[in-house]
Amino acid sequence: MRIGFDAKRLFNNFTGLGNYSRFVVDALSKHYPENEYWLYTPKARQHADVDPILQSPNIKTLLPPAVVAPLKLGSFWRSMRIAKHAHRHDVQLFHGLSNELPLSIPKKLKTVVTIHDLIFKRYPQFYNPVDVRIYSWKFHEACHAADRIVAISQQTKEDIVHYLDVDEQKIEVIYQGCHPIFKQQYGAQELANVKLKYQLPAEFILNVGTIESRKNALSVIKALVASGIKLPLVIVGKTTSYKKELEEYINQNKLSNQVYFIHTVQFVDLPLIYRSAKVFVYPSLFEGFGIPIVEAIASGVPVISSTGSCFSEAGGPDCLYVDPMNYEQLGNAIQKVLSSSEQTKNMTERSTQYIQRFEPKVIATDLMKVYQELV
């Protein structure tokens, strides 16, 4: 089978959507090497996360005609021409990996689109109104044009049905996996070097994610105060205006020596930061899946997250889940983990078993089943 992908994010994005795109293509090429995987992108770039994938003999990169670049028509080519090119290349199935499909699709070309979340529909106040309108139109068009939709969680599937009026029979839930770097083992010296590099405390509570209101890092800080926890908190993530709210609370409660912010982390260092933490706390209000939960579990760290949304889908039954706005409850959960090595051991061992369902072979097999049913 020859399968085409919208690979713009695979080549040019090195966070969520890019990581998902690379994970999927790499898993398929390794576990189903008999197929060809054609990557369509308006521009390509060399990168340590991309280059190893491209070395596979069953992967081919397709760029637009030479005339496109000087005319700055890459977006037009991606929207209007990419599917026609794929059809002429005898691609049997085209997969939009990042919430959208080309607008012009030949009738004989089967299509799949992955939808990651509809947070902009559920919480439009967190987005620019123009972006909400654009996303709403793009997601609606992609879901109704696609022959099959992949939702990365049951929560996302339910949101697609509710917000986009799509028949649930058209949707398959296929989870996403985390980067293999989080499963690597590291020595004591490597951990010590990362602590020194980022000036981390000897022991700490960890929170990872963009510092924005939806991620709700303020609840962790308030939980420390509510429960009298003195262990430092390290917050890793890109900053937004929400940080001012955190800083105001930190200053009011004299926590400046207890809360550490790290805004820029090299990706290769992130697993070591996870592994250095005593507990990972993720009180987000809503996510499409919650990949940091899986990253933390893969790194051997116990996880506390929120009730509702998709969090238990990502973490399984052996993480702790609390009302993210109940600071006392959150603080008690942190205390429970910190005070019991047996609790920590049980949580990490059982959760590690749970996330085996997010292994590359499992996800590749589920995707290939969808492809084969269509083709």
The ranges assigned to domains in the chain are 2-177+359-374, 180-356
So what's the pLDDT on residue 123? 93
**2-177+359-374 with 180-356: one CATH topology?**
yes
Tokens of 132: 């909400």
Whether the pLDDT of residue 217 is over 80: the answer is yes
C-alpha to C-alpha distance for 366 and 1, rounded to whole angstroms: 16
Partnered with residue 151 across adjacent β-strands are 115, 173
Give the list of residues 6+ apart from residue 286 with CB closer than 8 angstroms, or none.
119, 122, 123, 214, 308, 309
Each residue's pLDDT tens digit, 280-334: 999 999 999 999 999 999 999 999 999 988 999 999 999 999 999 999 999 999 9
DSSP state of 179: -
Each residue's pLDDT tens digit, 127-147: 999 999 999 999 999 999 999
> Is 1:93 a contact under the CB 8 Å cutoff?
yes
Cβ count near 231 (within 10 Å) = 15
CATH of 180-356, one of 3.40.366.10, 3.40.50.720, 3.40.50.2000, 3.90.1640.10: 3.40.50.2000
So what's the pLDDT on residue 65? 87
Whether the pLDDT of residue 167 is over 90: the answer is yes
Whether the pLDDT of residue 275 is over 90: the answer is yes
So what's the pLDDT on residue 264? 92
So what's the pLDDT on residue 284? 97
Q: Of 7, 97, 114, 14, nearest to 59 (Cα)? A: 7
Each residue's pLDDT tens digit, 99-131: 999 998 999 999 999 999 999 999 999 899 999
> Is 234:262 a contact under the CB 8 Å cutoff?
yes
So what's the pLDDT on residue 257? 96
3-state DSSP call for residue 104?
coil
So what's the pLDDT on residue 96? 98
Whether the pLDDT of residue 152 is over 80: the answer is yes
> Is 76:111 a contact under the CB 8 Å cutoff?
no
DSSP state of 200: -
Task: Give residue 29's region: left, alpha or beta (phi > 0; psi -120 to 50).
Answer: alpha
Q: What is the mean pLDDT of residues 196-218?
A: 96
Whether the pLDDT of residue 211 is over 90: the answer is yes
The pLDDT confidence band at residue 68, using thresholds 50, 70 and 90, is confident
Rg (CA), the chain: 22
Whether the pLDDT of residue 67 is over 80: the answer is no
So what's the pLDDT on residue 156? 97
| Percentage of the chain modeled with pLDDT above 90 | 92
The amino acid occupying position 322 is V
So what's the pLDDT on residue 229? 97
So what's the pLDDT on residue 189? 97
Each residue's pLDDT tens digit, 18-63: 999 999 999 999 999 999 999 999 999 999 999 999 999 999 999 9
Mean pLDDT, all residues of the chain: 95
Quote the pTM value.
0.94
The pLDDT confidence band at residue 66, using thresholds 50, 70 and 90, is confident
So what's the pLDDT on residue 343? 87
Whether the pLDDT of residue 361 is over 90: the answer is yes
Each residue's pLDDT tens digit, 77-105: 999 999 999 999 999 999 999 999 999 89
- What is 2-177+359-374's CATH superfamily? Glycogen Phosphorylase B; (3.40.50.2000)
> Is 349:297 a contact under the CB 8 Å cutoff?
no
